[in-house]
Chain A
Amino acid sequence: MVEVNKEMKEGITAWAKFYKKGMGYFAFAFHRLSGLVILFYLYLHYTVLSNLLRGQATYNAIVKSITYGPYDSFLVLDFLLALVIFYHGANGVRLALNEFGIGMYHHKALFITFEIIAMVLLGLFDYYALQFVGVGF
């Protein structure tokens, strides 16, 4: 392998610089950011689930406090999480198609199309989620 000068290294913050960058770069950077958020949520989810070890009543009390109060403000984070997952999923499908050689000539159009579809689905998800927790329209 080529001997590389470490002075070239910009660090992991290199991908978080958006000035003068194109649409593909935004797709890439937010894909990473959303991936990190999903990873964080996964471990948070495990932590909440681990309360099952403390008994059914304890676990139910925690879930109820998050869903109906006094900590129901966490629901806002749930909607943000849904946004991140829908974005990441749609862009992930686009990347997988591109890597198989599908739609490479139109990858920007594909990105916009997939994200529009994802946001419509997110809207439907949010609507039914709010119905589920009892917020009517």
Chain B
Amino acid sequence: MLNVVFYFQVHQPYRLRHINLLDIGHSNELFDTKLNSFVMKKVAEKCYLPTNKLLLELIRKHEGRFKIAYSITGTAIEQFKLYSPEVLDSFKELAATGCVEFIGETYYHSLAFLYDTNEFLDQVAMHRKLMVDEFGYHTETFRNTELIYQDRLSDIVFEIEGFKTIITEGVDRILNWRSPLYAYKNYSKDINLLLKYYKLSDDIAFRFSNRDWPEFPLTVDKFVNWVDHLTLDEKKGRNQFLNLFMDYETFGEHQWAETGIFDFMYHFPEEVLKRPHLGFATPKETTHLANYQQESLSFPEAVSWADEQRDLSAWLENDMQKNAIETMYELLFRVKQKGDEKLLKIARMLTTSDHFYYMFTKYFQDGDVHKYFSPYDSPDQAYIYYINALADLEERLS
């Protein structure tokens, strides 16, 4: 049996205003309310609302056989409430079907794991509480920001009561000859690991509308045939998991409605469910579906799902990114010591990984993607505004 495991990442950062030097010290609003509201409303209309509606319809239609998982960041949920409350309502409707798993992560979609373990734990706890408060859901699966993972993460997450699975990228240099279609264990065999099948995930997320791609156009038939072929290698009856992980904004935002992405998604489940050896599962279900001794995998170095390198370079490659993030965590620590809740909230909004992504300078291969997502003219500008924001926050503190 091969189970298709869909997991969608739902995230919106608080984008910073263009904060100039002379804006510092006036306690001005640091975040670009107008832009954030605009983006949220636009993405709600193009992606969240139509996609939620579609998936709700599919769940109802297939009566429990079609399942999905979401990871929704705290900053996204806050902005739903501020700018587009109907989106949150539609997620609650999905939660009520019982066919949706919610995944735990850091509330602020931060890189705290790499810099500040206490902050990481705080943000994970905040997010967990948010999932209970909003959806009545107790998270059992964890994903770190941008699927960043290394052995140490599993140690920390294992210590948190209730997490049994972590999902991350199926990186070739870790897997080598192994297949990402099986559930693994972390290096200490304590926790279940699911690995993104990046080829087929990216066929949908990145290549779907690419006319230069030899497989264009991607039809449901073609895709399900590829999926079907994956089962041929398994001859011992072991359950396989095809982990299709992607940004939720793929639907309608990165791939516009005109590309046919919604049609594709509409017909995909029925085509899968037509075949008796194919089905759907959510990440947490894989722990008891894994009917074999799970091999352990060690990740000595951090991996992620970003860019070709699948490492940390998208956020932590150049000196601007490093100086910015180091300064921020130092400041965050001081804000915590002062115990000013209002400033702590702002500081945490600055922990969101997107801020560092905007400062990425390798504009040659993957830069296009970065540029597409950046609200600033250049990485240098993004850096200047961010550093100014940190200076402003510090002046408010002292």
Q: Say whether A and B bind each other.
A: no
